[in-house]
C-alpha cells in the first residue's frame, strides 16, 4: 500500500514570494491534516479536512496561508506572501477513521521550506 505522498521535498524562496505544497493521502483515507514543524518543536496542526470539508483551521494564518482538498482526495497548501518565520517543514498526514479524532495517523516525508 502506498504511503502519503508529498512534493516538493525541498523549496527555497525569497520572502514575499509564494509557494505551494501538494499532498496525496493514503487511498481511502477520509481525514487529511497539514502540520507545520519548526526546528526543535513538535508539529503544529494548521488545518484538518474530513473528505473535502474543513474540520479545523483555527491555527492557520489565513492572511497568508490557504489550503484546499478538492474531490476529497489530494490537497494543496499555499503560502503567499512568505515570511522568514514560515521556514519550517510542512507535514501532511492522513487517517482512515471518519471520526477523525480516533484514527491512526500516517505521515508523509514532509516538504522543507527555507525562506531567505
Partner 1 sequence: GIQVEQSPPDLILQEGANSTLRCNFSDSVNNLQWFHQNPWGQLINLFYIPSGTKQNGRLSATTVATERYSLLYISSSQTTDSGVYFCAVWAGKSTFGDGTTLTVKP
* Distance in Å, CB of 6 to partner 1, minimum: 10
Our finding on whether 25 is near partner 1 (CB under 8 A) is: no
Burial of 14 from C-beta contacts in 10 A (0-12 / 13-18 / 19+): exposed
Element (H, E) at 77: strand 75-79
The closest alpha carbon to 25, from 44, 54, 5, belongs to: 5
Q: How many chain residues touch partner 1 (CB under 8 A)?
A: 24
Our finding on whether 44 is near partner 1 (CB under 8 A) is: yes
For 77, phi then psi, to 5°, come to -115, 125
Contact segment (CB under 8 A) with partner 1 among 11-19, 41-49, 63-71, 74-82 equals 41-49
Query: Distance of alpha carbon 43 from its chain centroid, rounded?
Result: 11
47 has which bridge partners? 34
Among 82, 110, 113, 115, binds partner 1 (CB under 8 A): 110
Pick out residues in 57-96 that bind partner 1 (CB under 8 A): 58, 89, 91, 93
Among 61, 64, 66, 106, binds partner 1 (CB under 8 A): 106
Residues that bind partner 1 (CB under 8 A): 33, 40-45, 48, 56, 58, 89, 91, 93, 101-110, 112
Amino acid at each position: 500500500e502506498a504511503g502519503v505522498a508529498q512534493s516538493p521535498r525541498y523549496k527555497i524562496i525569497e520572502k514575499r514570494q509564494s509557494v505551494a505544497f501538494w499532498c496525496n493521502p493514503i487511498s481511502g483515507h477520509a481525514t487529511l491534516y497539514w502540520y507545520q514543524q519548526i526546528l526543535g518543536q513538535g508539529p503544529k496542526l494548521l488545518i484538518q479536512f474530513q473528505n473535502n470539508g474543513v474540520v479545523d483551521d483555527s491555527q492557520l494564518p489565513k492572511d497568508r496561508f490557504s489550503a484546499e482538498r478538492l474531490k476529497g482526495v489530494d490537497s494543496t497548501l499555499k503560502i503567499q506572501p512568505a515570511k522568514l518565520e514560515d521556514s519550517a517543514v510542512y507535514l501532511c498526514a492522513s487517517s482512515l477513521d471518519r471520526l477523525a479524532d480516533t484514527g491512526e495517523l500516517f505521515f508523509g516525508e514532509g516538504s522543507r521550506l527555507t525562506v531567505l
